[in-house]
């Protein structure tokens, strides 16, 4: 089967990085190269990487370039037919690559594929799987699924975990890669651009573990507003060009509702319940969901009965 280039960017993630690397080395599919971009780590990562003896592991050292540029450097060095991404604090199940390659062999026209994944605590206890939380593909027994309208679907349902993605390398040589100017959401932005012109498939099984880290640097209060605005910026392009891309209003409404839900959650965390209610009502209006009703009722209760 095809050679896969695996790209792991890492910054001060030595607590979790060995698990990620071990999950790659334990893959049933062994024809791969592993490119690890050590982006100015100060936690002993360099010393750890220097001790790895597997010849398939290639280490690239950078000076604080960020995840997007780190991944782009990995892509530029990659020699595989496919490129797969794995974050340093995530891991794969042993059949991940072989099953995903089987999906691409079954549908050679696909440019990209992704899998379901498990949300885990930092002690690796399961919380909920992605497809289950977002109520996608429930009751579907097919192992391989091809999206009929990938762009509309991924705007409506932002369910792609970066650590689950595999892309044909030739596709990434034909287009701009990760947008290094974006401070957040550069992965979603790239997946959407791939969806504009290419087929996308899904491996309908959990093949990746995603850690919900309490101290994630991208989800501090100081950055959450910035992150939401980045997602808004990405979405605005498709809202302005919805007729060109033949996008449904319901897909755009669902995407907008997720952003508003994010704003509501941000203000809820600051105990600004009246503001959270405003965002929650608008989110519920655009895309009614039981989860949003529960959140809205909780905000109303918190405002009326403050602790």
pTM for the whole structure: 0.94
Residue 260's pLDDT is 97
Calculated CA dihedral for residues 204, 149, 114, 198, nearest 10 degrees: 140
Residue 215's pLDDT is 64
Given a cut of 70, whether residue 220 has pLDDT beyond it is: no
Q: What is the DSSP string of 208-240?
A: EEEE--TT-TTSSHHHHHHHHHHHHHHHHHHHH
Stretch (H or E) spanning 58: strand 57-62
Residue 306's pLDDT is 65
Mean pLDDT check: name the lowest of 46-50, 213-217, 279-283: 213-217
Both tokens of residue 224?
A: 């959450």
Mean pLDDT check: name the lowest of 198-207, 219-228, 235-244, 279-288: 219-228
Q: For the segment 97-155, what is each residue's pLDDT rounded down to a tens digit?
A: 999 999 999 999 999 999 999 999 998 999 999 999 888 998 899 999 999 999 999 99
CATH number of 221-304: 1.25.40
Using alpha carbons, select from 256, 254, 218, 262 the residue that is nearest to residue 235. Answer: 256
CATH number of 4-211: 3.90.550.10
Both tokens of residue 50?
A: 């220097």
Distance CA 215, CA 127 (A): 17
Domain boundaries, the chain: 4-211, 221-304
Provide the 3-class DSSP secondary structure of residue 81. coil
């Amino acid at each position: 089967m095809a050679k896969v280039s695996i790209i792991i960017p890492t910054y001060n993630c030595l607590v979790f990085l060995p698990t990620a690397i071990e999950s790659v080395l334990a893959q049933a599919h062994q024809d791969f190269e592993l490119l690890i971009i050590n982006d100015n780590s100060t936690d002993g990562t360099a010393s750890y990487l220097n001790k790895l003896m597997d010849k398939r592991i290639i280490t690239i050292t950078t000076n604080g370039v960020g995840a997007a540029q780190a991944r782009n450097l990995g892509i530029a060095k990659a020699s595989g037919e496919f490129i797969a991404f794995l974050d340093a604090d995530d891991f794969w199940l042993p059949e991940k690559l072989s099953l995903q390659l089987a999906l691409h062999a079954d549908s050679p026209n696909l440019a990209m594929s992704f899998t379901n994944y498990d949300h885990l605590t930092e002690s690796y206890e399961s919380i909920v799987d992605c497809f289950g939380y977002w109520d996608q593909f429930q009751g579907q027994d097919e192992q391989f699924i091809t999206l009929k309208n990938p762009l509309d679907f991924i705007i409506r349902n932002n369910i792609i975990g970066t650590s689950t993605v595999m892309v044909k390398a030739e596709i990434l040589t034909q287009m701009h890669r990760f947008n290094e100017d974006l401070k957040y959401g550069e992965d979603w932005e790239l997946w959407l651009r791939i969806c504009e012109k290419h087929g996308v498939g899904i491996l309908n099984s959990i093949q990746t573990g995603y850690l919900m880290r309490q101290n994630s640097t991208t989800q501090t209060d100081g950055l959450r507003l910035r992150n939401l605005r980045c997602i808004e910026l990405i979405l605005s392009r498709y809202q302005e060009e919805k007729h060109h891309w033949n996008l449904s209003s319901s897909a755009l409404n669902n995407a907008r509702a997720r952003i508003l839900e994010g704003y509501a959650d941000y203000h809820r965390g600051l105990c600004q319940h009246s503001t959270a209610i405003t965002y929650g009502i608008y989110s519920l209006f655009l895309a009614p969901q039981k989860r949003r009703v529960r959140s809205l009722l909780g905000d109303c209760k918190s405002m009326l009965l403050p602790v």
